[in-house]
Amino acid sequence: MEPKMLEARFHTDPATGCLCRYVRSETEYFRPHFHDYFELFLVMSGSVCHIVNGQEQRLSEGELLFIRDADVHDYKRGDSGSFSFINLAFTAQTLQELRAFLGGGFPAEQLLHAPLPPAVQLTPREKEALSYALIALNGSSDPARIRFLARALLVRVFSDCFARCRTAAPEAPAWLEAVCEKMKEPQNFLVGTARMRALAGRSREHLTRCMKRCYGVTPSGYVTDLRLGHAADLLLVSNLTVTEICYACGFENLSWFYKCFSEKYGATPTAFRRQRQTD
């Protein structure tokens, strides 16, 4: 079937530059398509076989995907049968404004030019928080309010979620991909790089070379990023103090924790907690 071109003028709101929809496979007709706008979609239930750019992506509940304007894609049911996802369509102008705001740190090559759309697996808490934020876009009738909420949400998604989405280079060995997946478990990243080396079964130097070549980050940088994500979760869902969270996440120095957290999230841990509680 010939892919269909979908246009922003029909699939986004001109007043807000975006449109949020809850999609269920039982009620939706899918066909190959591409568009002149961008999309996020968050898998809410079931599993999805996402056919994109001539390849298949198997997506499960809690995965977040960034669809670019040139991606030709379609959906079919995965092993679970039916599925559902929340879709946020937004204009190319919105993305341009986002890139200008985020500056040179925006990972354009990784996000916009990778062969397959970038995907990241969210934690249950992240999935719940993002789904509430997406649904909230349809809870207002004020275009200015929706425009503000959508842009604030996109900044958080690209700075928090996709910042840790590292597309492995084609030559990345299977053992390294497996190690990186295992390190996402708290019982591993809380131990640190020693656990990473043990899982890899390689020397420190070999592991570091492979990580830098394939993922553009050192083992310690990868572990720190995972710990910071865990700290952000605890700030939102626990009553622990910032100091308690610092040490619970494997940081040995409070000042260093503040520095790393502020660089990643653009706010101190205390300010981050306060801002999210008032969103």
* CA–CA gap between residue 21 and residue 87 (Å, rounded): 5
Are 159 and 200 contained in the same domain? no
Structural domain total, the chain: 2
Q: Is 230 in the same domain as 150?
A: no
Instruction: Report if residue 229 sits inside a domain.
Output: yes
Asked if 55 and 116 count as a contact pair (C-beta separation under 8 A), the reply is yes
| Residue 173, number of CB atoms within 10 A of its CB | 13
> Is there a single domain that holds both residue 36 and residue 85?
yes
In a domain, 49, yes or no: yes
- Are both 153 and 247 inside the same structural domain? no
Tell me, what's the pLDDT at 83?
Answer: 86
Which residue among 132, 164, 196 closes a domain?
A: 164
Residue 278: predicted pLDDT: 61
Which domain, by its residues, includes 10? 4-164
* Residue 183 is assigned to a structural domain of this protein: yes
Instruction: Give the per-residue pLDDT at 195.
Output: 96
Does 156 lie in the same domain as 112?
A: yes
**C-alpha torsion sign, points 168, 172, 176, 182:** positive
Pair 125, 196 in one domain? no
Domain-terminating residue out of 129, 164, 199? 164
Let me know whether 189 and 103 are in one domain. no
Q: Is residue 83 part of a domain?
A: yes
Does residue 160 share a domain with residue 210? no
Q: Are 44 and 86 in contact (CB under 8 A)?
A: yes
Q: What per-residue confidence (pLDDT) applies to 224?
A: 92
Residue 169 lies in a domain: no
Q: What is the CATH number of the domain that holds 11?
A: 2.60.120.280
pLDDT beneath 50, residues of the chain: 166-170
Residues 72 and 34 in one domain: yes
Same domain, 126 and 107: yes
Last residue of a domain, one of 164, 186, 218: 164
- Alpha-carbon distance 104 to 155, whole Å? 14
Per-residue pLDDT, 78: 54
> How many residues in total does the chain contain?
279
pLDDT at 198: 96
Residues 136 and 263 in one domain: no
In whole angstroms, how far apart are CA 147 and each of 18, 78, 99, 143, 265? 8, 34, 16, 6, 21
Angle, nearest 10°, between helix axes 204-215 and 193-200?
A: 90
The answer on 47 and 138 residing in a single domain is yes
